[in-house]
Structure 1
Amino acid sequence: MQFLRRSLIGLFLTSLTLALLVMAGYALYGAVQSRLAPAERPRMAQERVFTVNVQRVEAGVVAPVLTAFGEVRSRRTLEIRSPMSGRVVELAENFEDGARVEAGQLLVQIDTADASAAVAVAEAESTRAAAELRDAEAALLLARDDLAAAAAQARLRVTALERQQNLQGRGVGTEAAVETAELAVSSAEQAVLSRRQALAQAEARLEQAGNALELQRISLAEARRRLRDTTILADFAGVLADTTVIEGGLVSANERLAALVDPDALEVAFRLSTSQYARLLDPEGRLIPAEVTVLLDVMGTEIATPGQLVRVGATVAEGQTGRLIYARLDAPRGFRPGDFVTVRVAEPPLEDVAVLPAAAVDSAQTVLALGPEDRLEVLPVHLLRRQGNSVIVEAAAVAGREIVTERAPMLGGGIRVRPLRAGGDGGAEAAAHLPARARGEAIETVDELVALSPERRAELIALVEGNARMPQEARARIIAQLEQDHVPAGVIARLEARAGG
């Protein structure tokens, strides 16, 4: 038993000794390998190079386009109202909303019975007044003749009195005869005065008869006008709107029956800010007759018509700002009053300016220009106009320079970039030189598309097909991208980075 215990202890000690020897040998082997291994080189920092689109700035003359929104209105609208009350006995066949009528066409006929009776009564009264006038004229003639006869008789009486007075002076006549002659003269003069009064009355009667006839003629004209008012005609060719009357219905005086709109006489009213309005004034302060284009969006399709500025609102309404401008439509086909439209106004041309993408200018009104060694420079610009996705700036500071068309947060002054120019040449050149690890540069892209030469495209496709570790779906997707006319620069950069690694 003691022999077995000692044997097991010896076996344990032997195994422990062998394990310690193995660990010592492994530690010695690791130390030798560390000693023989070359010294690790420190990793060098890599400069990041971004691929950007650039555009050369060219100075020129640009006519800015001002965009506003307005409402189409009619320059010629007529409210059709009933001049008198009565029953509607006839309507035009096309008396309905949207119907087109011609000038002079019958629209509404009101019952003419009362108006015709009034005309007949006025005509009878006019005839009676005319007869009264003729009687007054005849009476005036008689009164004048009667006055002339009385005056002649008075002259004879005066002559007889003078003869009696002469006889009395010679002692032949008597005093009684003289008195009788004097009484006869007084009676004759009284008769003349009475005839003058009758003449005055005849003249007054004639004037009254003339006035009465004139009043009756006015009454007759009024009655005939009211008779004509029972027939409502279209004053001009146009389109009916808001029709409210039906045949057989009763209408009151001045009741609104419909509206007549001339579809060929339209204008658009739109509001501009005061600064925008100031750009459309001539040196005398008057609104220039600038050309406009009016656009109406109809289910994705635009209807356009030219026009011209004609006037500006006289006052500014309460609670409003800016100026209300009116433009006449030259060919308003397809437009209707009430349409909400887009108005584009051609401003006077600006000289020595350049048009840049809006994304190229930041909030501080600066752009990034390509400098020496393809490094970016920050240049200030004077912003003149904003037009959709473009801006108009003064070209003095950036004329002839290449600027970045799309600003990105990682871009700034001093950053090195790879420019992509329009036309595809710059893109192919940049794609051919994308791998830059040999120069210690790291390539990053900003979602740019580049054009590849056929040789470069075939090389990249062969590189993808030879990568056995790439999944089949990913390989097919990348090959489909490489076969396009323009390939994302990020895809090319990743392929080149893997090949170079």
Structure 2
Amino acid sequence: MTRLARPLLLAAALLAAGGFATWQGSRLDAAISGEDRRPPRPRKEASARTEVSVVTPAPSAITPVSTVYGQISAPNRVTLIPSASGRIVEVLDGLRDGARVTTGDLLLRLDDTEAALSLREAEAALASAETTRKERRRNITEAQETLALLGELLALKEAELDRTNALIEKGTYSPNLLETSRAALLAARQSVSQGEAALAASRDLARQAEIAVDQATLAVESAETTLADHALIAPISGIFSGERPIAGQHLSDSSIGTLVDMDSLEIRLDLTQAVLSRITGPEGGLLALPITATRPGSEVSAPGRLDRLTIADASDDSDQSIAIARLTSTRTAGLRPGDFVEVQITEPTLDDLLSVPASSVLPDDSVLAVTEGVLERLPALVLRRQGERVILATQALAGREILLLPGGELQAGMRVTTSPASPLALAESAE
């Protein structure tokens, strides 16, 4: 029984396995035949278009702005040094470090007692010299009048001698009268010579009196200068920098501080040759272009204008052109000498140029434009990169749809759909 059961069990197992395989095969055939009867699933279109944001530049007049840097300087700066020595007797009220003073303000006065006395003495000497000069001039007039009378007397004596000679020839007068007339003529001539000498002497004295007056006048002017030197007057308007002088303090030819004219500040601008070429005229002079100076990191700014060019020594022993800009308003600007500032130079307006976002221009100065829904790579003539914008001189790009963000997987030849760049997209592209 045991030997007979084993073959039977083996045969039953084989029949069961064959039946299961047949059943699985029938299911597979049914599944395959059923799938063939189902409709095909839709496939994604291989040529799906990518939506992109575009800008459409139009030709316009553009005013470029160059950004440069410089340092503020104060060309009108005066060191305050009294011209005399002495004790301070008067000080301007409010004179202290940082105080604003005006031209002509009396900053301080030194003790001028001796200087005032010297001036009065010089004025008295001048008055005396002028009196003497007046007297000498009067003496000249008197000498001239006397000489004129002596001249007339001489003429009379000469005429009398001629009449005497005529009468003696006729036998009317005695010869002794001739000697008398000759003696009188000789005396008249001697008087004229003495009058001429007196006039010359009066003129010499008058010239000496004139010299004395000139010397006395110089002495008065010198005394006035010495007296004025005891008063320190503000030569310009500006900000005082220094310690406040104290009444009773003794000063001697030393500086008490400086005055800086804050209304005539300048900026020394270090410029590249490219910028310099754009802001100079045909003759090489600096154009009077408007500027705005701003202290970096703050809202402190002031307007101004380019003023002139100067020459400075460069690090390589060559000459370097430095532009000087003059600020036109500083009272409320808060800018001070020594400040480093950012300067915006408004250049001359240029016509028929294009302006696009900086993100639209690729590193090789090209752009991606859309032509009938297909991206096309076009060259762009970059005239200036100005902050978040790029100025183009390529007229062929006028009116074309240009990608706002041409990077990433976008390439020439791709099919795209376009939409105008929104303000938010433009702002994000600038970041």
Q: TM-score, normalised by structure 1?
A: 0.64
**Cα 1:322–1:210 shift into 2, 3 Å:** closer
Partner of 2:301: 304
Of all paired residues, the percent bearing the same amino acid is 30
Distance 1:130 1:267 in 2: 53
Partner of 2:379: 380
2:220 maps to amino acid: L
1:312 maps to amino acid: R
Partner of 1:128: 128
Partner of 2:9: none
- Cα deviation for residue 278 of structure 1 reads 3.5
Alignment of 1:80 onto 2:80 = yes
Matches for 1:77-476 after TM superposition, within 5 Å = 77-162=77-162, 164-166=164-166, 168-171=168-171, 173-242=173-242, 247=247, 248-252=249-253, 256-280=255-279, 287-297=286-296, 300-309=297-306, 311-313=307-309, 315-319=310-314, 320-330=319-329, 332-333=331-332, 334-370=334-370, 376-406=375-405, 408=407, 412-414=411-413, 422-423=421-422
Aligned CA-pair RMSD: 4.0
Secondary structure of 1:129 counterpart:
helix
> In the alignment, is the contact (CA less than 8 A) between 1:292 and 1:307 conserved in 2?
yes
**Cα 1:360–1:48 shift into 2, 3 Å:** farther
> In the alignment, is the contact (CA less than 8 A) between 1:54 and 1:404 conserved in 2?
yes
Partner of 2:35: none
Secondary structure of 1:98 counterpart:
coil
**Cα 1:208–1:52 shift into 2, 3 Å:** farther
> In the alignment, is the contact (CA less than 8 A) between 1:71 and 1:341 conserved in 2?
yes
- Cα deviation for residue 356 of structure 1 reads 2.9
> In the alignment, is the contact (CA less than 8 A) between 1:107 and 1:233 conserved in 2?
yes
- Cα deviation for residue 281 of structure 1 reads 5.0
Structure 1 unpaired stretches of 5+: 1-28, 30-35, 39-46, 427-447, 450-501
**Cα 1:220–1:48 shift into 2, 3 Å:** farther
**Cα 1:52–1:204 shift into 2, 3 Å:** farther
Structure 2 unpaired stretches of 5+: 1-20, 22-27, 33-45
Distance 2:385 2:256 in 1: 48
- Cα deviation for residue 285 of structure 1 reads 6.9
Distance 2:305 2:216 in 1: 53
Distance 1:295 1:332 in 2: 14
2:265 maps to amino acid: L
Distance 1:425 1:321 in 2: 45
Secondary structure of 1:342 counterpart:
strand
> In the alignment, is the contact (CA less than 8 A) between 1:267 and 1:329 conserved in 2?
no
Q: TM-score, normalised by structure 2?
A: 0.73
Deviations 1:220-273 (A, max 9, x none): 133223323322233454321356966523232xx5443333333334342333
Distance 1:53 1:230 in 2: 81
Secondary structure of 1:301 counterpart:
coil
Secondary structure of 1:397 counterpart:
helix
1:295 maps to amino acid: T
1:392 maps to amino acid: I
- Cα deviation for residue 65 of structure 1 reads 1.5
1:273 maps to amino acid: T
- Cα deviation for residue 337 of structure 1 reads 2.5
2:111 maps to amino acid: D
Deviations 1:129-169 (A, max 9, x none): 12211321332233234324433443454355445534543
1:301 maps to amino acid: S
Distance 2:110 2:305 in 1: 43
- Cα deviation for residue 409 of structure 1 reads 7.0
Q: Which segment is superposed worse, 158-167 or 91-100?
A: 158-167
- Cα deviation for residue 324 of structure 1 reads 0.9
- Cα deviation for residue 59 of structure 1 reads 1.5
Task: Give the length in aligned residue pairs.
Answer: 382
Distance 1:419 1:102 in 2: 66
- Cα deviation for residue 199 of structure 1 reads 0.9
